[in-house]
Structure 1
Amino acid sequence: MPLGKILNLLLVALERISAKPAKVTDELQTTEELPSTTTVENTELSAATVSDLQSFTEDARAPQSEIFEEKNATAISMLQDELHKFVSGSAEVEGVIIITPDGMALASVLSPGMDEELTAAMSASMLSLGEHIGRELARGAIDRVVVEGERGYGVLVNCSQEVILLVLASPSAKQGILFLEIKQAIAKIAPLLK
């Protein structure tokens, strides 16, 4: 539905609504009881207005949701491509996942057999716990959380307020180089998250 038609419908509805109370007030001054026809007219007006507004909202939602889903799919595809480049461009990086602070995976490149949902949920919990520990120990804002095990590293980094990056690296990775690669990857990923 064109915007002009929508505005005209809203304007007509507002004029009718604002005109009705004046008419009812005039009728109340002349008679004590409100005529039943006025009630029917108001009901019909309300039903017509509600019907017009419902069709307006349904028409307005459809294109917006399609555009949003299309933008979302494009952004996820671009994120996925950037993650593939990051993993394939470094011999030490074995996997990577982008998650929300509440533990939802947005995009990932993980080793076969790794559960994306579980990895995302654990990563969000680990970062939340790291931030809590940082506050309690008066260390300020957390830059990264690093888990070092016999099979390698897990590095959690905030990309933005809404996105966390988990990088899984081999035990042969040099931490300084790994952190630099992560910083460069975040510089490429961050613009795709807006």
Structure 2
Amino acid sequence: MAKSRTDLMVERLRDLQSTTPEIEASAVVSVDGLIMASALPTGVEEDRVGAMSAAVLSLGERISSELGRGMLDQVYIKGIDGYVIVMSVGDEAVLTTLVRQNAKLGLIFLDMRRSADDLKNLV
């Protein structure tokens, strides 16, 4: 039996998390805030991740555009316990990750971009 598009996206998210252990959770979210696929730990609500991702994306796009920075590529938020990183996946979705505090962001961005490029074909 062939795997569904959602199954393939979840598989790609799990691959990202297994090769980059600093990423604790990940999801592909549509631009309107709906979860398309996720690899979230117990206790992390899909609906909340979707809504927050859409809000960050909307605000980030507006800021980037209005301040002359071009098309939005990514937004990251640093809290004392880690990061939330939102990265574009084509025009219709974003890849959202929850990242540990001590992560090397350059490597995280590189791995996320590779995953986002793979996911673009599935969205």
The alignment's TM-score, normalised by the length of structure 2, stands at 0.93
Matched residue SS, 1:139: coil
Q: CA RMSD in A?
A: 1.6
Q: In the alignment, residue 163 of structure 1 is paired with which amino acid?
A: A
Q: Distance in 1 between matches of 2:47 and 2:22?
A: 23
* Aligned residues with identical type, % of pairs: 32
More helix by share: 1
Aligned length, in residue pairs: 123
The superposition leaves residues 129-153 of structure 1 with CA deviations (integer Å, 9 ceiling, x where unpaired) of 0111112211111110010111111
Q: Which structure is higher in strand share?
A: 2
Secondary structure in structure 2 of the residue aligned to 1:167: strand
Q: Secondary structure at the match of 2:36?
A: strand
Partner of 1:107: 37
Find the counterpart in structure 1 of residue 9 from structure 2: 79
Gaps of 5+ in 1: 1-70
Matched, 1:125 2:55: yes
Q: Specify the code of the residue in structure 2 equivalent to 1:154.
A: V
Q: Distance in 2 between matches of 1:183 and 1:83?
A: 12
Please list, as runs of the form range in 1=range in 2, the aligned pairs for 1:8-27 lying within 5 A after superposition: none
Query: Matched residues in 2 for 1:159 and 1:83: separation?
Result: 13
* In structure 2, C-alpha distance between the alignment counterparts of 1:173 and 1:189, rounded to whole Å: 23
1:150 equivalent to 2:102? Answer no
Aligned to 2:105: 175
Report the residue type matching 1:144 in the other structure.
Answer: Q
Cα offset, 1:114, TM superposition? 0.7
Query: 1:137 is matched by which residue type in structure 2?
Result: L
C-alpha separation between the residues in 2 aligned to 1:133 and 1:190? 24
What is the aligned partner in structure 2 of residue 22 from structure 1? none
- Which one has more relative contact order, counting CA pairs under 8 Å at least 6 apart? 2
In structure 2, what is the equivalent of residue 191 of structure 1? 121
Within the candidate set 56, 66, 70, 1:140 is matched to 70
- Aligned position for 2:20: 90
Cα distance in 2 for partners of 1:83, 1:118 equals 18
Q: Which runs of 4+ in 1 moved over 4 A?
A: none
- Whole-angstrom CA distance in 1 between matches of 2:56 and 2:46: 15
Distance 1:145 1:154 in 2: 8
Counterpart CA distance in 2 for 1:112 and 1:88 is 17
In 2, distance between residues paired with 1:191 and 1:122? Answer: 24
Query: For 2:95, which of 150, 165, 171 is the aligned residue?
Result: 165
- Paired with 1:83 and 1:171, the residues of 2 have a C-alpha distance of 20
SS of 1:86's partner is: helix
